C-alpha cells in the first residue's frame, strides 16, 4: 500500500523550490534584455516568459490521488501484463515529463533495465529510473512530435491505467570488473544511471562520474537529487552540461558548456581515466551514442550503450 496523504505533502514541498527557481529565471532573464541585440533579446525574453508561465501552470496541475484513497496493487499480472494506475505525472518542460507507477511486489528488475509501457494498443520500452527496491517506478519520458505513445502518455491523468509488461529487460549494467565508471547521458538517457545510483549501497567504494547533457538547463529532470547525491557521496560527481549556453533560456548557467562528445576527451584527460580501470556507458540520443562510440572505437575503453 502507498500513502497518498504523505505523497501529497512531499509534492507540494517539491513545487515551492520550482516556483522560486522560475521566478529567479524570470528575474535573471530580465537582465539579458540589455544584450547586444536588444530587440532580439526582448523577443526571446517575451517568448521565454510565456513558456515559464505555462510551465508553472502545469506544475500546479500535478495531481495525486485524494487523501485517504488506497491504491491496490495487482499481485499477479494477467497475460504477462500489469494494469497500473498512474500515481503522478510531473512536468519537466514542454516536452519532458516523469510518470510514476506503483511497483507490483512481484515485479523485479536490475538497475539499468527497461520495461514496455502501453496505452491504447501501443507499446514501447522505457528505462526505469527507480531504485531496484523502491515502492514506485519512475519513468523520464520525452514527448516526440507525432509520437503515438509518448504524446498520449504526456496527457495521461492520475488514476488512469497504463499497461506495463511483467518482465523488465536490457543488459546495461555497472560492470563489476571495474572500480571506476563514467556514465554519459542525454536528457532522458539518465534514467538507467539514476536507477544504478539510487540502488548504490551506502559506502560503496566504486568511483562514478555522470556527465548529463541537455540543450537547456531546465531539462535535466532530476538535477536537484543528483547534485544532492554528489554532495553527500565523495565517490560520485554529477556533471550537467548545456549544449546551447548562448540561448536566453540558459541565462545564468555556470556549469559545463558544450556537447558530450566535445567534453569527453577533456574529462578523460583531466580525471586521468584509463581503459584499465574505467568502464564507460552512453545512453540516450542516437547521435550522441554513435559519436561517442566512434570516438572510443580504438581507445581500449569498455563501452556499453543504449540508444533511444
Strand (E) or helix (H) holding 31: helix 4-31
Q: From the list 188, 219, 295, 305, which residue makes contact with ligand FAD (rule: CB under 6 A)?
A: 188
Strand order in the sheet with 96-102: 88-91, 96-102, 136-142
User: In angstroms, what is the minimal distance from the CB of 140 to ligand FAD?
Assistant: 6
Answer for which of 41, 141, 242, 268 binds ligand FAD (CB under 6 A) is: 141
Q: Of residues 126, 178, 216, 238, which one binds ligand FAD by CB under 6 A?
A: 126
Q: Supply the DSSP string of 74-114, one letter for each residue.
A: PSS-BTTEEEEE--EEEE-SSSEEEEEEE--TT----TT-E
Closest CA to 119 of 91, 90, 78, 147: 147
Enumerate residues 6+ apart whose C-beta is below 8 A from 97.
Answer: 89, 90, 91, 140, 141, 143, 153, 154
Binding of ligand FAD by 110 (CB under 6 A): no
100, 110, 191, 243: which one contacts ligand FAD (CB under 6 A)? 191
Instruction: Indicate the residue whose CB is closest to ligand FAD.
Output: 147
Q: Does 304 bind ligand FAD (CB under 6 A)?
A: no
* Distance separating the N- and C-terminal Cα atoms of the chain: 33
Q: Which of 147, 159, 255, 258 binds ligand FAD (CB under 6 A)?
A: 147
The CA distance from 217 to 254, in Å, is 10
Distance of alpha carbon 251 from alpha carbon 212, whole angstroms: 18
Out of 2, 42, 49, 124, the only residue in the binding site for ligand FAD (CB under 6 A) is 124
Q: Does 93 bind ligand FAD (CB under 6 A)?
A: no
- CA–CA separation, 12 vs 60, rounded Å? 9
Burial call 287-302: b when 16+ CB within 10 Å, e when fewer: ebbebbeebbeeeebe
Would you count residue 73 as binding ligand FAD (CB under 6 A)?
A: no
> Rounded to the nearest whole angstrom, what is the least distance from the CB of residue 122 to ligand FAD in the complex?
6
CA atoms of 12 and 257, how far apart (whole Å): 32
Closer residue to ligand FAD in complex, CB, 33/118? 118
206 binds ligand FAD (CB under 6 A): no
Per CB under 6 A, the list member of 18, 25, 45, 149 interacting with ligand FAD is 149
Give the residue with the Cβ less far from ligand FAD, 190 or 230: 190
Task: Report in angstroms how near the CB of residue 154 gets to ligand FAD at its nearest.
Answer: 9
Helix H or strand E encompassing 182 = strand 180-186
Q: Which of 73, 93, 138, 142 binds ligand FAD (CB under 6 A)?
A: 142
Residues that bind ligand FAD (CB under 6 A): 114, 122, 124-127, 139-142, 144, 146-151, 170, 188, 191, 286, 306, 308
Amino acid at each position: 500500500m502507498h500513502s497518498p496523504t504523505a505523497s501529497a505533502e512531499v509534492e507540494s514541498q517539491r513545487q515551492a523550490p520550482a516556483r522560486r527557481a522560475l521566478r529567479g529565471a524570470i528575474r535573471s532573464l530580465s537582465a539579458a534584455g540589455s544584450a547586444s541585440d536588444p530587440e532580439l533579446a526582448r523577443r526571446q525574453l517575451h517568448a521565454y516568459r510565456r513558456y515559464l508561465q505555462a510551465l508553472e501552470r502545469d506544475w500546479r496541475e500535478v495531481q495525486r490521488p485524494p487523501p485517504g484513497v488506497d491504491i491496490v496493487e495487482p499481485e499477479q499480472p494477467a497475460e504477462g501484463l500489469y494494469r497500473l494506475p498512474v500515481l503522478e505525472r510531473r512536468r519537466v518542460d514542454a516536452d519532458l515529463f516523469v510518470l510514476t507507477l506503483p511497483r507490483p511486489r512481484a515485479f523485479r528488475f536490475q538497475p539499468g533495465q527497461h520495461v514496455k509501457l502501453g496505452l491504447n494498443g501501443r507499446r514501447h520500452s522505457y528505462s526505469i529510473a527507480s531504485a531496484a527496491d523502491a515502492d514506485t517506478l519512475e519513468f523520464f519520458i520525452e514527448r516526440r512530435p507525432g509520437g503515438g505513445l509518448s504524446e498520449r502518455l504526456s496527457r495521461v491523468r492520475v488514476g488512469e491505467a497504463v499497461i506495463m509488461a511483467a518482465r523488465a529487460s536490457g543488459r546495461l549494467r555497472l560492470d563489476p570488473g571495474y572500480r571506476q565508471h563514467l556514465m554519459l547521458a542525454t536528457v532522458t538517457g539518465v534514467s538507467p544511471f539514476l536507477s544504478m545510483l539510487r540502488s548504490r549501497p551506502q559506502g560503496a567504494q566504486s568511483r562514478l562520474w555522470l556527465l548529463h547533457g541537455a540543450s537547456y538547463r531546465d531539462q535535466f529532470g532530476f538535477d536537484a537529487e543528483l547534485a544532492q547525491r554528489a554532495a553527500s557521496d565523495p565517490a560520485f560527481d554529477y556533471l550537467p552540461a548545456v549544449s546551447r549556453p548562448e540561448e536566453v533560456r540558459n541565462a545564468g548557467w555556470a556549469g559545463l558548456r558544450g556537447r558530450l562528445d566535445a567534453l569527453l576527451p577533456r574529462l578523460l584527460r583531466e580525471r586521468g581515466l584509463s581503459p584499465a580501470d574505467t568502464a564507460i556507458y552512453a545512453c540516450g540520443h542516437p547521435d550522441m551514442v554513435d559519436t561517442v562510440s566512434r570516438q572510443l572505437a580504438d581507445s581500449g575503453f569498455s563501452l556499453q550503450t543504449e540508444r533511444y
